[in-house]
Structure 1
């Protein structure tokens, strides 16, 4: 199915509907549609078929039926299909960029750059498809030999955001197809047309039926919950907001499947117990070594030392006075004020509940008692 310009998808479905299941364009099982608008003008682009739970189950059936033949397909053949998809995306850059501009609102220059970026995922994983090998070696204790073979995990389900409708779709679809896994894709409701165009180009590249199923909808929980509740879906990948990711993680918690929530996922803070002054709270974002040593710096969390008379950090100089308070921090921090010298400017530091005696001595000089000038310092 050759696409010329943006008219085929921007004005009407390619066939009977916009739900792409088993290599066919079908209307939604419930007959529902929803509106896609141009974010720049607010004008209606067109009505798009809205998939539901019945369509989600049909997509799983189609993907499961196509899993076994694709699993045994030689890696060289998978690589050739992905190479053809790369070539077709580059040839249809103008068409895809026009769709992104229409439904996403990007400037044409940025949209064209995204299409080139999205196409590179097909070329990269086309070359990686032939490198999925096995390993063979002797056991460390001797007497045995180890053989490791890699197999496709099975049906995969992906949810993509609206901000990169082409790139976020291809970066999930390409590695799954290269590894031998069928794909279920739910694009963002604001930008479904780009994902449908990518599906049409993959079909033109020779992708067998059932390996890519695209379900646009404005009721994502109905579709995604059906996928997460089915044991045949072996891997789930989501890129989007943290709140939605938490809900999906709860739904997928009862099933034994691999979960991927994006490269920049955010997780709750976790207390790390280090040694001495290295104790701090860091954000768990996948850096195992930094979490273990407590040295991650992306999320500075200021925490006063529990012992009296010690200051955790000088906020005004290093972080501009901004601090992220953990929930279990005692009462709000107090700002203590000392004069640098009797007639000099006052210096303010953010500490815990107690006055830091060690710091006050260093600022007031060698005297261990508070002088007359210091006693007249303004209170916090």
Structure 2
């Protein structure tokens, strides 16, 4: 009995020395707690490093510090991969040590988790703030470089375009200056050409001063300057592309009109110049008004030559008719004693009553348009004559009937 008891006591002592008899649950809990503690920290750090690395790899590597920054972040990424590997292996190792009753080794593993994972992880996490600052700083340099390059690109792109436009516009200005100021459309064309030249000068000035404006600006301010300047100057280039050909076409038409003798204009004073044809309604009316020897009568009528109505309608096509309406309103303003009667006429086709009605409606439409242009109602009257008083009495061909479908005016006071 004594011998058996001694064996039991000896076996127990041996177990205590080896750790097999010790309850390892608290130590296991501690070790697994460290795994649970460091796992989310490694995950967060890995996500942070990946984000910073993605930003850093998008930077121009020729910028100072960019390559070293990418290398540093790749080093952090590799460290985190190693730490994650240690952490991933720990649970199985812990279970094996507990199962084998190896308390001393379990204690070493627990201490190792703190030393070999927690320590490097803490250092790495502390380094990330500095690395993030470096990424932000180099990104700022990259933005500044890109914005400055944008200024240079814009200047290099648009300078020759605006120079070419200026050459073409200078040639057009020289042409227009050679046109008699009294020619139909000359004043308006000159004004439009000079307005375009002024816009071009403003744009060239803005482009020339762009580099100076870029000095001392933040990357965001630089980019805003580039964006605004690009929008404004692109709009100018588009305007030049559209307006230069249109103005050139007007100059060509004016030259052709002068060559054929069909150009006429009248300075009404107060910077008001009207255009028309030498034998048009405006020129005939003004000639009558300026001739003191010509008295007001019931038989002197002047046919409008630029009024258009919708087919079979009394609706005045203002898009086509506005120039002559505006001219007549200007004449009435320049000659304050002038009063007019507007007469409407048709051809002889269709019922006479219907023709007389539409001729009156058309005359009234002209009176209304003049009223809308600012002419007082008591200076105008309208009457419809239908097919009466034809200017082409035969009324037997379409050409003849077209002459009879007209609107005319008669001076009732001057």
Q: Tell me the TM-score normalised to structure 1 length.
A: 0.21
Q: Which has the higher contact order (CA 8 A, sep 6+)?
A: 1
| Pair member with larger Rg | 2
Higher normalized helix content (fraction of residues): 2
User: TM-score, normalised to structure 2's length?
Assistant: 0.20
Higher share of residues assigned strand: 1
